[in-house]
A and B are shown apart, each in its own frame.
Chain A
Amino acid sequence: MAGTVTKKENFLKGIIKDNPVFVMLLGMCPALGVTSSAFNGLGMGIATLFVLLMSNIVVSLIKSQIPSKVRIPAFIIIIASFVTIVEMVLEAFIPFLYEQLGIFIPLIVVNCLILGRAEAFASKNDLLSSIVDALGMGIGFTIALTALGAVREILGSGSIFDFRFVSEDANTFILFILPPGAFIALAYLSVLFNKVSKTN
């Protein structure tokens, strides 16, 4: 078995050690922008996971055919294509999520996470490892976004996944579904994550 990283380590690194949002600080824009509810965070996470997975697969498959000098534009075209596919599929089949995520769907293409993995990993590793890498990173990203979305939704709307547990007129910490709340929630979530991951 080539390589010094086991499949399990390869997968898990994306969730804790190299978590895209909390550790590598990638994909901050969608992390803050669409996490006003747990569902939105989850939806964005899954959409990003899909693009990451597909682009890692394609890049890993054709890496030997891409001349080094044009690899960045090539990656961009590949990633942008999958993002466009996600755009079209969401608009056609899950219009609600399409509306909620809005401009952040096309912005998946500039999520440094995806370009970063294509460049740092998929272009240098075999297909299976690239798939595992994408899954780990993508799931880590999704967990981070869903957690952030859940915190903001619970505090800011008094609901979780649209399931209200306070009355409609109750006073909730609206701040958390507004921009400042996103920063603040992520700040404290980062502190929590750092504490937890350090003790492991």
Chain B
Amino acid sequence: MDAIDLATTTTRDLNARLQAEAPRSNAAYEVLHPGGRHALACGLTAPIAVTLRGHVGYYCAGMNQNATVTVEGNAGVGVAENMMSGLVRVKGDASQSAGATGHGGLLVIEGSASARCGISMKGIDIVVKGSVGHNSAFMAQAGRLVVCGDAEDGLGDSLYEAVIYVAGKTGKLGADCEEQEMTEDDRKTVAELLARAGLTGDPASFRRFGSARQLYNFKIDNVGSY
């Protein structure tokens, strides 16, 4: 495993080196002294493994494709924003807007996430071991948000076709978000996502929340688009 020390390397040089990895590279890096800097390990495209040893600032692992990025600490605003694929794991807590606008891949938060987790998610899967703050999955279009703890007020406000599973308590639901029947398929989905996240939990303890489809002009003919 190569070590890159941010006490002596700029963010720009770190990202350039990680982004230059060949498409089939399986290199592994550890990043020392992240010091809360912003935009670390962003725009990666190769299936490399990057471990950040400490707390990181805003937009860590943004636009990630294929790479596995692990934060051994807390993450600032917008971790894994606009992720396309790959795996981003935060061992601590995540600040607001975790996984915002993500198109694919898996974001795992082993602590809790604050407000607006999964805002406008477009296909990403997010698994949070702890709880999520207010207005999580706001305007979420596709993908799954699994919350093992509680969700605060405004969950799923203006939700499109993303699906939310919560094991704990929920505050006041957001506009057009409703609790829906938890089917056998849903339990399988939750079990599969928990397994991929490396977490344990009883899928039967989760409740499902989705869009009531009253707030936007939903055409069933277009369901395949989501």
- Specify whether A and B are partners: no
